[in-house]
Structures are given as structure tokens and as C-alpha cells.
Amino acid sequence: MSDNHKKEIDAVSGVETTGHEWDGLKELNNPLPKWWLYVFYATIVWAIGYWVVYPSWPLLSGYTAGVLGNSQRADALAAVEAGQAARAQLGAGLNDASLEEIAAKPELLDFAMANGRAAFGDNCAPCHGSGGTGAVGYPNLQDDVWIWGGTLDDIHTTLQYGIRSGHDEARFAEMPAFGRDGLLDKTEVDQVSSFVAARAGLEPEAGVDLAAGEVVYQDNCASCHGEDLAGIREMGAPNLLSANYVFGKSVQAIKAQVNAPRHGVMPAWEGRLDPATIKSLAVYVHSFGGGE
């Protein structure tokens, strides 16, 4: 660019140039549209008015309060306090009501569902999924397979004390490692696994003696899972005829569980969450449709 170029009239547009030129391109001296200038001037006036009326400029030990003395921070804190007061009132209602009463009263139910949904997302979704569908090792809360029971009270107890959580009141059950600890030999593990698979609607391994597998089952498994494989809830023994298995439903998954079982752990939420939130979670989880 050269500052020595003189202003001239552009032959094409008829507009005077500014005298600036870059690589043969000359800058036209087009003024800004008046409407744009008016808007720009209005924003300046607005900004000055805002500085006067509202808090705006930081000082060494505070800020300019403005003519109105308004504070969005104070407004937000007041809104939070009002919300907490309303929540405390409804929360007290949850504490005083039974689970059945919460489910029967629309106002308490709406609050419990909203509270439970938020608590589920924060505390339960990482294991059970945002919709409660679970994964391998984490139960599906939408089906009707409940090892410890799916009533409101059952779910509340499980939430409160956990499963193998170390809490004194925790749900607890442990399946022996029949193969790893030598309680059954490999052939017996194969036989009982194929027998259970066949009864559960799966294709057993070819050539395995299912009659022998039934004998192994009745001698070693029926005391917990029942002679009919339907499970015994009081012992935390799953129904082996159910549609879903926590650790996978296949012959190989069953065999792995018989050989060296995995045991999941669910934390006790008592002491971590307040009683009203635990009740809310019980109501919310029960609403998934898999409860009883």
C-alpha cells in the first residue's frame, strides 16, 4: 500500500476512492448506512444507561451498585432459597409418608418421580444405564427378573442397604465356585451347565448327559435354586428359568458361573443419600415397569 496515491473517482461505481491501493485494488470511500450508524449510537447510549442503572464496574473492594441496586446474583440466590424451601416442604412429606402413600398421592408422586429421576442419573445410571436397561453384570431394572423382589418395599430395602455392600443389613448371597474349588469335576460342570441351559430354553452342548446333569443339579444346586430351578428369593438365589441372566444367558456363561462365579456389589445408599431421596429412587425405579 502507498500513502502517496491521490483520491480519484472510480470510473465504474462513480464513488471517490480513499487513496489506498493494494496490488491494484483501490478502496472506495463508501459511508456506512445511516440505519447501522443509528443502531451503533443507540447501543452506546444503552451501555451508558446500563452502567448507571445496574451494577457494572468493579472497584477495589466491590463494584458500582447502580441506581436500582439490582443484583442478578442476589435474585438467583433468592430463587435457590425459595426452591430449597419448597423442596424441603415436599421432602418432609416424603419422609412422613409410606411408599404406598407416596404412590397414591399425585403431588408427592410427581415430586418423588422428579427427585428420583435426578438422583438416578447422578448415582445409578453409570451401572444400570440411563433407562435402567442394565448391562452384563448389572441387572436390567425394566424386566420382571428381581432376585431380591421387585415391590416398592423390596426395592427400597435394596437401595438402602445394598447387596454385598458391607452394611450390616445388606442383602447377601454367595454361590460356591464348584469347578475352581474342586466341588465338581469338569464333566460334572459340563453336565449341570447343559442341564440348566436346556431347562432355560437354550441349546445344550452336544453329547452331554442331561440326565446326569439333573442329578448333579439336585445334589448341589436345588437347595438354593429350588428343585424346579425357580430360585429362592429369601436366599438371593436367581430363578434359572428367567429370560435374563445378570452375567449372560448362554451355555458358556452358565458354565463360567458354575466354575468360578462372579458376585456383583451394589453400594448401600443409606448415609450417602437422604431418606427422602432413597424413597424417591424406589418409586422411580419401580415406575420402570419391571417391579411387582
Q: What is the pLDDT of residues 198-250, one digit of tens each?
A: 999 999 999 999 999 999 999 999 999 999 999 999 999 999 999 889 999 99
Grid coordinates belonging to 187: 464333566
**What residues are paired with 16 via a beta bridge?**
9
| C-alpha span between 143 and 89 (Å, rounded) | 34
pLDDT tens digits, residue range 151-163?
A: 999 999 999 999 9
235 is an annotated ligand-binding site residue: no
1 is an annotated ligand-binding site residue: no
CATH number given to 186-259: 1.10.760.10
5 is an annotated ligand-binding site residue: no
Instruction: Tell me what the pLDDT averaged over the chain comes to.
Output: 91
Q: Where are the domains of the chain?
A: 73-170+266-287, 186-259
Burial of residue 237, with CB atoms counted within 10 A of its CB: 0-12 exposed, 13-18 middle, 19 or more buried: buried
263 is an annotated ligand-binding site residue: no
In this structure, of 36-50, 63-77, 258-272, the range with the lowest mean pLDDT score is 63-77
pLDDT tens digits, residue range 84-138?
A: 787 777 777 788 889 999 999 998 899 899 999 999 999 999 999 999 999 999 9
Burial of residue 228, with CB atoms counted within 10 A of its CB: 0-12 exposed, 13-18 middle, 19 or more buried: exposed
Grid coordinates belonging to 123: 448415582
Q: Quickly tell me which residue has 462513480 as its cell.
A: 14
266 is an annotated ligand-binding site residue: yes
pTM of the entire predicted model: 0.70
224 is an annotated ligand-binding site residue: yes
286 is an annotated ligand-binding site residue: no
Contact 291, 152 (CB under 8 A): yes
| C-alpha span between 263 and 68 (Å, rounded) | 63
- SS3 of residue 228 by DSSP: coil
Which of 2.70.70.10, 1.10.760.10, 3.40.50.1220, 3.30.390.30 is the CATH number of 73-170+266-287? 1.10.760.10
| 10 against 88, higher pLDDT | 10
Fold: same for 73-170+266-287 and 186-259 = yes
